[in-house]
Amino acid sequence: MFAQLSAATERLSNAQLSAAVALKDRALRIHISYLVQHRRVEDDRRTPVPGMTVAPAAVTPAEDIWTPLDWVLTVTCPDRTCRRILVVLAREADAAWGGQLSLREIAERAGCSVRTASTHRAHLIDAGLLRATVTAVHRPSGHVDRSADRYLILSGQVAPGASWEEDAARDVLARIRWWQGGASEERQRAVWRILRRMRNGWPAHELVARTDIEPARTVVSRLRLLDKLLPGSDEPYVIPAREAATGIAAGPVFCAAGCGAQFPHVAQVRPGTVCRDCRTETATAHYAQAAGAYGTDF
């Protein structure tokens, strides 16, 4: 922004400056105020102070980024409140750089109101730095409550489209547990829906994770439920921050014991987790070993 102001031969309007530096109007005003406060720009908010410069932001090498917080500190956020909220989410993130926090919890940790947290979380989503998913809780009474939203920190980088054949989409459909049988025409329409998302850059494991649910009631229209679970038909896939920063692509998480079991919800499972069956077998072996050592049954 300072470079744009220094190079300008005439006074730039807010709209012109916003377009030049790719910032929204409110974020632009905040950054200009910061430059005025630190005596880089005169009080007219357009004239650079003679002799003053602005040092370029330090670039953190990818090999030095190990945690979500490391990455967040290198990101340009829309404004200061957005940065505080993103720092809070990074500190609470799991190994997949995601987690689960309610708006009230975010507001308490960021030192702002719930309404402010909601507004600025929406700014982060619009900027491609965050994905938030509503978590529904189905009660035995039939009521549906809302739990804390799940989130995933994103990089803001849109994945390029890819050329996929229908066989790849059929493989995704075959991994959707609640889709059983169905007429050939209905299955073909489902394949086309999945194929369109894959050609927009969405990876197969992400589509499987989004559709991996246990319906609370009998599914009346499978195509309608599929449309509800899949991303929008023209929605681009924004690369997760963990993949962009570390080069480790998100994907299926398998049992660390090597049995081949796959955890369905990638964002909820830490790499290195052992599945329930393997934990049971390990515990049984330990009990048997202890019983043999002490000469007694447990």
Cα torsion 187, 193, 199, 205: sign? negative
Higher per-residue confidence, 223 vs 291: 223
* pLDDT greater than 80 at residue 265: no
Residue recorded with tokens 């309404």: 115
* pLDDT greater than 80 at residue 290: no
Mean of pLDDT values over 151-175: 87
**d(Cα 86, Cα 80) in Å, to the nearest integer?**
10
Mean of pLDDT values over 12-31: 80
Q: What is the pLDDT of residues 166-207, one digit of tens each?
A: 888 999 898 888 887 777 888 999 999 999 999 988 988 889
Residue recorded with tokens 């998913």: 133
Q: What is the pLDDT of residues 91-144, one digit of tens each?
A: 999 888 889 898 999 999 999 999 999 999 999 999 999 999 877 655 566 655
Lowest-pLDDT choice from 8-22, 228-242, 264-278: 264-278
Higher per-residue confidence, 260 vs 115: 115
Higher per-residue confidence, 104 vs 214: 104
b/e for 212-246, b at 16 or more Cβ within 10 A?
beeeeeeeeebeebbeeebeeeeeebbbbbbbbbb
Domain 62-157 falls in which CATH fold? Arc Repressor Mutant, subunit A (1.10.10)
CA-nearest of 80, 57, 51 to 42 is: 51
The pLDDT value recorded for residue 86 is 94
Alpha helices, DSSP H only, in the chain?
2-7, 14-21, 25-37, 68-72, 80-91, 103-110, 114-126, 166-174, 184-199, 204-211, 222-229, 241-246, 276-294
CA-nearest of 153, 137, 156 to 145 is: 137
* pLDDT greater than 80 at residue 275: no
Amino acid at 255: C
The pLDDT value recorded for residue 179 is 85
**d(Cα 7, Cα 20) in Å, to the nearest integer?**
12
Q: What is the mean pLDDT of the chain?
A: 80
Secondary structure class of 149 (helix, strand, coil): strand
The pLDDT value recorded for residue 137 is 58
The pLDDT value recorded for residue 65 is 59
CA 2 → CA 8, 106, 144, distances in Å? 10, 33, 51
Confidence band, pLDDT 50/70/90 cuts, at residue 249: low
Q: Which residues contact 5 (CB under 8 A, 6 or more apart)?
A: 12, 17, 41, 46, 47, 48
CA 82 from centre of chain: 15
Q: What is the pLDDT of residues 27-37, one digit of tens each?
A: 778 778 878 88
Higher per-residue confidence, 5 vs 190: 190
Higher per-residue confidence, 291 vs 62: 291
The pLDDT value recorded for residue 122 is 93
Domain positions in the chain are 1-56, 62-157, 166-235, 253-294
Q: What is the pLDDT of residues 36-77, one digit of tens each?
A: 888 888 888 888 888 877 766 555 455 555 788 888 888 888
* pLDDT greater than 60 at residue 267: no
The pLDDT value recorded for residue 298 is 47
Higher per-residue confidence, 297 vs 182: 182
What's this model's pTM, rounded to 2 decimal places? 0.62
Confidence band, pLDDT 50/70/90 cuts, at residue 11: confident
**d(Cα 6, Cα 55) in Å, to the nearest integer?**
14
**d(Cα 256, Cα 42) in Å, to the nearest integer?**
59
How large a percentage of the chain has pLDDT more than 90? 20
The pLDDT value recorded for residue 26 is 73
